Amino acid sequence: MFGATGLGFADMGKKMKIYILQNLTKIINKFIDLYNKADVFKGIIAALSRVNLNVWRVIAAIYREWGIAIKGIS
């Protein structure tokens, strides 16, 4: 059955890969353009990175405090 298709599936697969890669490239380029043109968008990205850093600092502080509390118990 698959031999009778005359490589139709392979051609369709190639066309799908090309279509997906072209559109993914367009989406990435739009994201880059948006980042380069919009100061508000840059601010949002920078704020998210600072928030993420602060969250990890808080988590690390909690674990340090738990370690001190566990040492005090034993």
State residue 17's pLDDT score. 92
66, with CB counted inside 10 A (0-12, 13-18, 19+), is: exposed
Q: Are residues 24 and 51 in the same domain?
A: no
Higher pLDDT among residues 63 and 72, named by residue: 63
State residue 13's pLDDT score. 81
pLDDT tens per residue, range 11-33: 788 889 999 999 999 999 998 88
Band the pLDDT of 39: cuts 50, 70, 90.
confident
State the average pLDDT for the chain. 82
Arithmetic mean of pLDDT, 44-70: 85
d(CA 57, CA 42): 23
Q: Are residues 25 and 43 in the same domain?
A: no
Q: Are residues 32 and 44 in the same domain?
A: no
Q: Are residues 55 and 26 in the same domain?
A: no
Total structural domains within the chain: 2
